[in-house]
Amino acid sequence: MSSSPDKLVYMANQIGKFFQSQGQDRAVQGISEHIWKFWDPRMRKQIFAHLDAGGTGLDPYVLDALQKLKQQA
């Protein structure tokens, strides 16, 4: 688990799992806010690049949250 897209996908999904039980709207909001608040720009850039490349491995809410965050950026 050291190559970075894999690790970031794993981290994003971990965040997603916490918010999952709060329902789609709150989960998507919670996930995107968390990543915006705590991830350094280079990490966000990498995960956005991964998203653009299809976002393989990202859980559904996480995918939505990242898309939302990318639009805001």
Partner 1 sequence: MSLIQEIDFGTPKSKSETMVTLTIDGKSVTVPEGTSIMRAAMESGTQIPKLCATDMVDAFGSCRLCLVEIEGRAGTPASCTTPVTPGLVVHTQSERLKTLRKGVMELYISDHPLDCLTCAANGDCELQDMAGAVGLRDVRYGYQGENHVFAKANGCDNDNWMPKDESNPYFTYDPSKCIVCSRCVRACEEVQGTFALTIAGRGFDSRVSPGMSESFLGSECVSCGACVQACPTATLTEKSVIEIGQPEHSVVTTCAYCGVGCAFKAEMRGEEVVRMVPWKDGKANRGHSCVKGRFAWGYTTHKERVLKPMIRERIEDPWREVSWDEAFGFAAAKFKGIQQKYGRDAVGGITSSRCTNEETYLVQKLIRGGFGNNNVDTCARVCHSPTGYGLSQTFGTSAGTQDFDSVEETDVVVIIGANPASAHPVFASRLKKRLRQGARLIVIDPRRTEMVESAHVKALHLPLMPGTNVAVLTALAHVIVTEGLVNETFVRERCDWNEFEDWATFVADPGNSPEATALQTGVDPKVLREAARIYATGGNGAIYYGLGVTEHSQGSTTVIAIANLAMATGNIGRNGVGVNPLRGQNNVQGSCDMGSFPHELPGYRHIAGDAVREQFEAMWNVKLNKEPGLRIPNMFDAAIEGTFMGLYVQGEDILQSDPNTKHVVAALSAMECVIVHDLFLNETANYAHVFLPGSTFLEKDGTFTNAERRIQLVRKVMSPRNGYADWEVTILLAKAMGFEMHYNHPSEIMDEIAALTPTFAGVSYARLEELGSVQWPCNEKASEGTPVMHIGGFVRGKGKFIITEYVATDERTGPRYPLLLTTGRILSQYNVGAQTRRTENVVWHAEDRLEIHPHDAEQRGVRDGDWVRLASRAGETTLRAEITDRVAPGVVYTTFHHPDTQANVITTDFSDWATNCPEYKVTAVQISRSNGPTDWQKAYDEQARHSRRILPAEAAE
Q: By CB under 8 A, is residue 63 in contact with partner 1?
A: no
Binding segment (CB under 8 A) for partner 1, from list 9-17, 47-55, 59-67: 9-17
**Residues 50, 6 contacting (CB under 8 angstroms):** no
Question: Binder to partner 1 among 9, 17, 70, 72 (CB under 8 A)?
Answer: 17
Q: Which region, judged by CB under 8 A, interacts with partner 1, from 36-44, 49-57, 58-66?
A: 36-44
Q: Render the burial of 38-72: b for 16+ CB within 10 Å, e for the rest.
A: ebeeebbebbbebbeeebeebbebbbbbbbbbeee
State the residues that interact with partner 1 by CB under 8 A.
Answer: 1-2, 4, 7, 11, 14-15, 17-18, 20-22, 34, 37-43
